[in-house]
Amino acid sequence: MSLYETDPINVIIAGTGGQGNILISKLLGDAMLEEDHWVTIGETYGASQRGGSVASHVRISGEAPCSPITPRGAAHLVLGLEPVEALRVLALYGGPGTYVVTNVRPVHPMAVAIGEAAYPTLEAIKQTIGELSRKAMYLDASQIGINLGAPLLANMVMMGALVGCGFIPLERERLERQLEALFQTEKLALNLKAFRLGLAEIEKAYGRVHFKSRKGGNR
Amino acid sequence: MAGIAVNRAGTTQLLMGNEAIARGALEAGIGVAAAYPGNPSSEITTTLAQAAKELNLYVEWSVNEKVALEVAAAAAFAGVRALCAMKQNGLNVALDFLSNLNLTGVGGGLVLVVCDDPGGISSTNEQDSRHVAKALDLPLLEPATFQEAKEMTRWAFELSEEIGNACILRSVTRISHARGNVTLGELPHRKYRARFDTSRKPYASIAMTTPPVFHRALHQRLIEIAGIFESSPFNRYVGPENPELLVVTSGSGWLYSVEAVRTLRAKGSAGILKLGTTWPLPHNLVRANLLRTSKVLVVEEIDPFLEGNLKELAADIEPGRTWRFFGKASGHINPFGELDPDVVINAVARILEADYNPRGADYEHTAQQALQGLVPPRALQFCAGCPHRTTFWAIKSALKMDGRDGFVTGDIGCYSMALTSTGFSQIKTVHSMGSGMGLASGLGKLDRFGFDQPVVAVCGDSTFFHAVIPALINAVHSHSDLLFVVLDNAATAMTGFQPHPGIETNAMGEEAPKLEIETVCRALGVTVEVTDPYDIPGTTEKIVGMLRDRGKPRVLISRRECALTRAKREKAPYVVRVDQGRCRGESCGCDKFCVRVFKCPGLVWNGDTGKAAIDEALCSGCGVCAQICPRSAIVTRVLP
C-alpha cells in the first residue's frame, strides 16, 4: 500500500568523503524501516572516495524495494552537508519540485585550493539552487558544530534540520531514541545537542513544510 | 553489523548486500570463510569474521585469492561448508585453481562469491566475471535484491552439495554496497566433524586421459543443473500474457527495469522476466517466455552475457521464428560502465515510443550549466597526513636530483593515486597486484639495449605478501637493476584496514605471527633499509644513495602508520599553524608552494588574507608541511 501521495520518497544526502552522510542515511533508513517501509540506500561517488563527492540515495516506499540510484528529476529532498555538493546533486537528480536543505560551509576541493578552479560565491550557489528547486533552506551547520567543539557534529545538526524541515514524516523522539542507542553517554549528550540545535534552527528560520500523508486524510 | 550473528529470525533489518550474503552463509551453517579483501566484496568476510567467535567459525583473510579459494575448498573436501568471496580482479588470481577444481568437484558445499564492479568505481577494470562460470561449466546465480542476496547464498550451498561442485554467486557494486530490507531466517545449530575421506577417488584431474572424461561429466552435470533451475523461485515473469516488449534481466538490472516500467506507466505493454540462475539457462522457462512476444530488451551489467546466451538459445527454438533483440548490441543499453535507472527508462521509452522528459528543457539547461560552469570538480587525493604523500615527495625529489629520468612502476592500493598530482604524478604504470615489481624486474634487465633510467617499483605492505614476493625473487635471481620501495602503512588501507600477514592479529582478532617484510627480503639476500617518510630529507637522501647502488634489487621500507588508523587511536602529535607574519603570501616567490605543489588537504589558501592557512577540521597534525615551506612559516607546537 502506498503510504504517501508520493511513492517512493527520494531523499539524497550530498556531501564529501568523511562528512558522515552515510551515518545520516542509516539513521533515516532505520527510522523508516521501523515504520514498516521498504528502504533502499545507495551511494554514488564523484571522482573518488578519498575526499571526493559522496551522495547517499535514500528511497522509501510503502510498496516495494527501489533501485539504489534515484532517476533524474525524481529527488524530493536534497540534504546538503556542503553547498556545492547540494547543488551538484540537485542538478543531477533534482526537478522543479525538489526541496533543498543545506549547510552553507564550503569544503574546498583540491582544484580550488591550488587555484585551478574557482569555488562559486554563496550568492551564486543560492541563486542557482533557487532556480532548480521548489524551496531551499540554509543553515551554517558547521559553525553550530564548531561552537559545540567538533566540526564533524555538523552531520547531527543536519540530521536535526532534516527532521525540523518537516518534509519527511520523521518523529523527533524516534530519532533521539536511535541516537541514544548509537552513542555512549558523553558523546550522546553532544550529538543530541547538535541534533536539537539543527532542528530548532530550521524550524525557527523556515517553519515546517508539512508533508502530505495519505494517513492524514489527503486521499 | 556486529549483530548479524545474534539478530533473531523473523526480524527485518536494513542490510548491505554484502551483509545479506554473509547472513545467508550463516543461515546455511557454514564453518569456514576465506578471502582477500577487495571492493566491492570486503564486507562479506568482515561481517563473517565478527560472527566467528560466537558461532565457532574459522574466518581468515588469506594472503591472496587463490590461497583463499584453496582454504575454502579444503574445508569443503573435509565436509565443512565454506564460502570464499572476492572481487573480479581476485577471480583472475584464483582462476588457475578454480579451472581445475571444477573438474574434480568438491565434497561439501562450496560457494564462491564474486563481486563485480561495473564502472570500476573501486577497481582498475570492470571485468564481467560471469564468463568464467560459462567457461568452467559451473552454475551461476545473480541476486537482484538484498533479500535475494541472502536467500540465494543460503540455497547455493544446497545446490553445491547436490551437484558436488562449487557454485558461483555473482554480485555487483549496486547490490553489494547498497542497503535494503532483509528479513532474517533461522541460524542452524550445526556441529561439524571434519574428515578427509582417504578411501574416495583423489580430487585430481591429472592422469593421461582423464581431463576430457571429467570435462564430459561436467557437461552432463550442466544439463542436470539447468533442470534444477527450471523450477527455481529466483526466476519469475511479471507482466501481461503477451506483452509488446519482454524485458529480460538479471542482478542489479531488475530493480532498474521495474523502475523503468513503473516510471513510464508501461505495465500494460511491457513484461519483465527476472532471471536469477543465469548459467546454465533454464531452456524451457526461457523459451516459453520468449514465445510471449517478438521484441526483447536485455538489461544486465557490464557485458552482453545474458544477451548473447539468449540469442544463442533463441536461434534453436523454432525454424523461421525471429525476435528483435534490444540491449547492448543494439545500442539501447551501454556495453561499458554502470547502469542507472535513466539508461533503462530511456531504453524502454525508445522501444515503446513513449515520451520521457522528467524535468523539462529549461530545467535541464540550467542544471547542465550549473554542473559545467559552477560546480568545481573534486579530484582524487591522499588524506591529510598520508605517509604516501611524503614518500612520493621524497621519490620525486630524489629522482630529480639523480637526473637520469627515472620513474616509478606502481601497484594496487591507495598509493595508486600517485598517478595523479596528489602523488606528484610519479607512478607511470598500474596493472594488477604485484605487476609493478614484475615490470621493474623486466625493465631492470634492459641495460644491454641501452636502457639507463633508474626504475623504482612501489607496493604496499598487503600487496607485498599477496603477489610481490615471487616477482622480487625473480628480480634477485636475475640481478635486475631496480629500487623497490615498500609503502608500509600497516594496513590494507584502501579496502577497510583488514589485517594481513605483516600484522600481529588475524581476521578474528586473535594473535597471529607477524611476518617482518625486512626479514623476508633479507632471507632473499637483498639489502634492506628502513625509513620514516615523515622525515622528508632523510628519506630523500636514502633514495638518492640507493639509486646509485646499481646492478641488483635494493629494498627500502618506507614505514609509517596510515594517518586514518593513527587518528582513530590517538590524538594528533602537533598543533600546526601558519605564522601569518612569516608567510609572505602571494608576494612570496614560492607561488603558493604548500597548497599548489604539496597539496595536503589540511593546507588551504585564504583568499581574504592572500596567505596560507591550516584547515583545522582536516589537518591531521602530522607537522610534515613545516619541512617544505621555504619561509619556515608553518610552525608546529607539540601537544602536551
Angle between helices B88-104 and B210-230 (to 10 degrees): 110
Phi, psi of B73 (to 5 degrees): -65, -35
Is it the case that residue B29 has pLDDT exceeding 60? yes
The dihedral over CA atoms of B393, B396, B402, B407, expressed in degrees to the nearest 10, equals 140
Band (pLDDT 50/70/90 cuts) for residue A46 is: low
**Contact B430/B452 with Cβ under 8 angstroms?**
no
Higher pLDDT, B111 or B564: B111
pLDDT digits (tens, 9 = 90+) for B449-460: 999 999 999 999
- The mean pLDDT of B530-545, rounded to a whole number, is 98
CB contact (8 A) between residue B414 and residue A72: no
> Which three-class secondary structure state does DSSP give residue B193?
coil
When scoring B344, B375, B424 by the number of chain A Cβ atoms within 10 A, the one with the most, hence best to mutate, is B375
A·B CB contacts under 8 A: 175
Coil/strand/helix, residue B140:
strand
H or E element in which residue B561 lies: none
Cross-chain residue pair B376–A117, CB shorter than 8 Å: yes
Q: CB–CB of A141/A81 below 8 Å?
A: yes
pLDDT digits (tens, 9 = 90+) for B229-270: 999 999 999 999 999 999 999 999 999 999 999 999 999 999
User: What SS3 state is found at A17?
Assistant: coil
Mean pLDDT of B221-234: 97
DSSP letter assigned to residue B330: T
Average pLDDT score over residue span B338-351:
97
Instruction: Nearest by CB to A29, from B179, B368, B592: name it.
Output: B179
With cut-offs at 50, 70 and 90, classify the pLDDT of residue A209.
low
Per-residue pLDDT, B607: 81
Q: What confidence category does residue A48 fall into, taking pLDDT thresholds of 50, 70 and 90? A: very low
Q: Which range among B102-106, B380-384, B389-393 shows the weakest confidence by mean pLDDT?
A: B380-384
Q: Which chain A positions have a beta carbon within 8 Å of B12's beta carbon?
A: 33
Tell me whether residue A25 is in a domain: yes
Q: B141-164 pLDDT, tens per residue?
A: 999 999 999 999 999 999 999 999
Residue of chain B minimizing CA distance to A153: B617
Residue A1: is its pLDDT beyond 50? Answer: no
Position B49, amino acid: A
- Establish if B214 touches chain A: CB-CB under 8 angstroms: no
* CATH value at residue A133: 3.40.920.10
What chain A residue is nearest to B365 in terms of C-alpha separation? A91
Give percent of chain B with pLDDT exceeding 70.
Answer: 99
CA angle B13, B18, B24 (to 5 degrees): 70
pLDDT digits (tens, 9 = 90+) for B419-428: 999 999 999 9
CATH for B571-638, options being 3.30.110.30, 3.90.1150.10, 3.40.190.10, 3.30.70.20: 3.30.70.20
pLDDT at A215 over 50: no
Q: Which residue of B has its CA nearest to A154?
A: B617
Name the CATH superfamily for B387-568: Thiamin diphosphate (ThDP)-binding fold, Pyr/PP domains (3.40.50.970)
B597-613: per-residue pLDDT in tens?
999 989 988 888 999 99
Distance CA B283, CA B295 (A): 18
Residue B280 has pLDDT above 60, yes or no: yes
DSSP state of A151: G
- In this prediction, residue B208 has a pLDDT band, given cuts at 50, 70 and 90, of low
Interchain CB distance below 8 Å, B181 and A68:
no
- The answer regarding whether domain B2-230 maps to CATH 3.40.50.150 reads no
Domain annotation covers residue A1: no
Q: How far is A148 from chain B (nearest CA, A)?
A: 13
Place of cell 544439463: B223
> A112 or B294, which is more confident?
B294
Neighbours of B365 (CB within 10 A): 10
- State the pLDDT at residue B212: 87
pLDDT band, residue A185 (cuts 50/70/90): confident
Pairwise pLDDT comparison (B5 vs A49), residue with the higher score: B5
Q: Can you spell out the DSSP letters for B196-242?
A: --TTSPPS---STTHHHHHHHHHHHHHHHHHHHHHT-TT-EEES-SS
Tell me the pLDDT band of B583, cut-offs 50, 70 and 90.
very high
A3 within some domain = no
pLDDT interval class at B441 (50, 70, 90): very high
Report whether pLDDT(A83) > 60.
Answer: yes
Q: Give the residue-averaged pLDDT of B108-124.
A: 94
Closest CA–CA distance from residue A213 to any residue of chain B (Å): 21
| Rounded Cα distance, A159 and A24, in Å | 6
Beta strands in B32-137 (DSSP E): 32-35, 58-61, 82-87, 110-116
What's the rounded mean pLDDT across residues B337-361? Answer: 96
Rounded to whole angstroms, what are the CA distances from A146 to A140, A193, A194, A203, B615?
A: 10, 13, 10, 21, 13
Whether residue A144 lies within 8 A of chain B, CB to CB, comes out as no
- Range list for CATH 3.30.70.20 in chain B: 571-638
Q: What percent of chain A has pLDDT over 70?
A: 89
Per-residue model confidence (pLDDT) at position A76: 95
A60 bridge partner residues: A9, A39
Higher pLDDT, B555 or A118: B555
Q: Which domain holds residue A112?
A: 9-216
Instruction: Name the CA dihedral angle for A181, A184, A185, A187, rounded to a multiple of 10 degrees.
Output: -110
> What CATH number does domain B236-352 carry, 3.10.20.740, 3.40.50.920, 3.40.50.12280, 3.60.15.10?
3.40.50.920
Measured from the Cβ of residue A185, the count of other Cβ atoms closer than 10 Å reads 7
Instruction: Say which amino acid occupies B373.
Output: G
Q: Residue B193: pLDDT above 80?
A: yes
Q: Determine the pLDDT at residue B1.
A: 40
Residue A175's pLDDT is what? Answer: 92
Contact yes or no for A151/B617 (Cβ under 8 A): yes
- Phi then psi for residue A58, to 5 deg, are -110, 115
- Do B390 and B536 form a contact (C-beta atoms < 8 A)? yes
What distance in Å separates residue B413's CA from the closest CA in chain A?
12
CA distance B527 to B404: 22
Give the pLDDT band (50/70/90) at residue B616.
confident
Burial of B530: CB neighbours in 10 Å, binned 0-12, 13-18, 19+: middle
Residue A152: its chain B contacts at CB < 8 A? 617
Q: Distance, in angstroms, between B363 CA and closest chain A CA?
A: 7
State how many domains chain A has: 1
Report pTM: 0.95
Mean pLDDT of all residues belonging to chain B: 95
